[in-house]
Amino acid sequence: MISYGKHSVNQQDIQAVVDVLENQFLTQGSQVPAFEKALCDYTGAAFCTAVNSGTSGLHVACLALGIGKGDIVWTSPNSFAASANCALYCGASVSFVDIDPSTRNMSVELFLLKLEDARRSNTLPKALVVVHFAGSSCEMETIRHQCKLHDIAIIEDAAHALGAQYNGKPVGGCEFSDLAVLSFHPVKSITTAEGGAVTTNNPDLAQQVLLYAKHGITRDNTLMQGDADGPWYYQQLCLGYNYRMSDIQAALGISQLARLDEFIVKRRHLVARYLKLLQDLPVRLPLAADLNTSSWHLFMIELTEHERAAVYQQLHEKDIAVNVHYIPIHFHPYYQSLGFKQGEYPNAEQFYYHALTLPLYVDLTDEQQDYVVSVLHDILS
């Protein structure tokens, strides 16, 4: 079976994990800070906190911004539910900005219209969670400019986008955002099994992220109320969580991060081949303009003449485990119970009805890809 996405773990990755198990602290050792430093070096961000998942990262990013009851957060409906759930965890409410059908990212045009409405009705969001769908960056410069005018914070959900560039710089460097959140789930750019990280250039936000990810507890004297009783002392300053990453995971992350550039080269190689080999089929392809800037977490085609369910089924019968990204967040029964309706975000819905995610991962060979392409040709032409 050829899956849609898969991790690539080599002997060097395995050795890094074994070394921690044999010789080091399993958690709260030296590997987590080393991984955080490597992520800062890679992205250009000043601060990084590793956490136990991208979802935890989104949660603490919202908490660090002070998002709570009565606040509104906007995100894209074409994403994994975690992009919106993070706001709900904090007691805030969520609204969506529909996507641009060509980029499949939040539409800047619709964002501006929604901002205008929200300004008039006094329902401006406190924060925007922008999702760099499939690894192609949103139009951050314009979005940042508009958010500054309206005092709206920006969290980048960069779960797909480690290894991508925007304006010639790595995504995750937070040049046009307050915080960025990465995920290291096995299908993402690099893996730590489960894991995530939050980057920022703002020292106050970095401190809040750290606090919320570690029980709300600090050992830093300068943050304590009153004097420390002694060198053993710590204080809990807020209600935080245990979202720590283990050193076993961080060691894997360090080893994987060293391979990231090579991973991205491979993904771009495969995407260039797909773009060429599928160009005559009745499908809509992702933007070729993103070839050398996207991290290509996913490769989606949109069927223009065929029924998606049938094509999905036929590919599975040929051992090609294509997938579908994403069921719009507002389609989920939980979100429907909050009052969202089908039909509210037509671009994301149309994309969902026609989209098919083709196999794309580092260890996919050209021969396997050729097989996928030939099966697709048989089905579609």
Catalog residues that contact ligand PLP under the rule CB under 6 A.
53-55, 79-80, 82-83, 131, 157, 159-160, 183, 185, 196
* Residue 268, number of CB atoms within 10 A of its CB: 18
Nearer to ligand PLP, 159 or 356 (CB): 159
| Residue 249 Cβ vs ligand PLP, minimum distance, rounded to whole Å | 11
Give the residue with the Cβ less far from ligand PLP, 97 or 380.
97
Q: Which of 168, 190, 337, 334 is nearest to 251 (CA)?
A: 190
| 3-state SS assignment for residue 118 | helix
Nearer to ligand PLP, 54 or 125 (CB): 54
Closer to ligand PLP by CB, 19 or 139: give it.
Answer: 139
What's the min distance (Å) between Cβ of 148 and ligand PLP? 24
The helix (H) or strand (E) run that includes residue 358 is: strand 355-358
Check: CB of residue 167 under 8 Å from CB of residue 189.
Answer: no
Smallest CA-to-CA distance from 200 within 49, 324, 89, 86 is with 49
- Cβ at position 58, least distance to ligand PLP in Å: 6
Comparing CB distances to ligand PLP, the nearer of 51 and 152 is 51
Least gap, CB of 184 to ligand PLP (angstroms): 7
Nearest-5° angle of CA 306, CA 310, CA 314?
115
Q: Nearest-CB residue to ligand PLP?
A: 54
Length of the chain: 381
In angstroms, give the least distance from the CB of 132 to ligand PLP.
8
Nearer to ligand PLP, 76 or 347 (CB): 76
Contact 52, 61 (CB under 8 A): no
CB 73 within 8 A of CB 125: yes
Could you give the 3-state DSSP secondary structure of residue 33? helix
Provide the minimum distance between the beta carbon of 105 and ligand PLP in the complex, in angstroms, as a whole number: 11
Element (H, E) at 85: helix 82-89
